[in-house]
Amino acid sequence: MCKLANKQVALYGQDVGNALIQIANAAQAYDPTLAADLKAGAAVLIAATSNFTTGSATADIETAATAIQAILDIIPVTAPYAVFVAIAANCLVLLLANLSAQDTMTGDQIHDALLVRSTIAAQPEHKWDGAYKIRRHFYESYPQALKGAWNGEVEKNPTLGFVKL
């Protein structure tokens, strides 16, 4: 685990945003207002992460992620596409924790991993906490881990209409 480069934050934000848009499309038939809100939140997240530079304030990203988490919490855990919601919610938590820990990271993988873990533990709980564990190997970036989890579930659930990231 190490500091996220500007490009990694932008890629991660884009991937999470695209995942959220797919979830919104799936939710459209059940709750059009929720779907519209989720698409709007995804657009804000994508814009905020694409403009991120190392050392810049993360308030816009945090605000977008918090709003998105509130929207995701409305989706029932029994929704047919709940596994995708759980992945997206988990990715938002990882992104926020990693960004908030950037200033105190040392480059020591164990120290930094424990720092991110403690940052995650300190965040407010939400409905999807622990619903999906994204496994990340030390050589993988967060965007790679997100894509691996998402794409694996797409392959397992082809009838839901989700596409790979």
Residue 165 lies in a domain: no
Q: What is the pTM of this model?
A: 0.82
Please report whether residue 57 resides in a domain: yes
The verdict on residue 164 lying in a domain is no
For residue 27, with 0-12 CB atoms within 10 Å meaning exposed, 13-18 middle and 19 or more buried, which class applies?
A: buried
Rg (CA), the chain: 15
What domain range is 52 assigned to? Answer: 6-159
The total of structural domains in the chain comes to 1
pLDDT in tens, the chain (165 residues): 455 666 778 888 899 999 999 999 999 998 999 999 999 999 999 999 998 877 777 888 888 988 999 999 999 999 999 999 999 998 888 787 777 656 655 566 665 566 566 665 566 676 777 777 776 665 566 678 788 899 999 999 999 999 999
Q: Is residue 87 part of a domain?
A: yes
Helix, strand, or coil (residue 165): coil
Residue 124 is assigned to a structural domain of this protein: yes
The answer to whether 106 touches 112, Cβ cutoff 8 Å, is yes
Cα dihedral angle (99, 10, 82, 149), rounded to 10 degrees?
Answer: -90
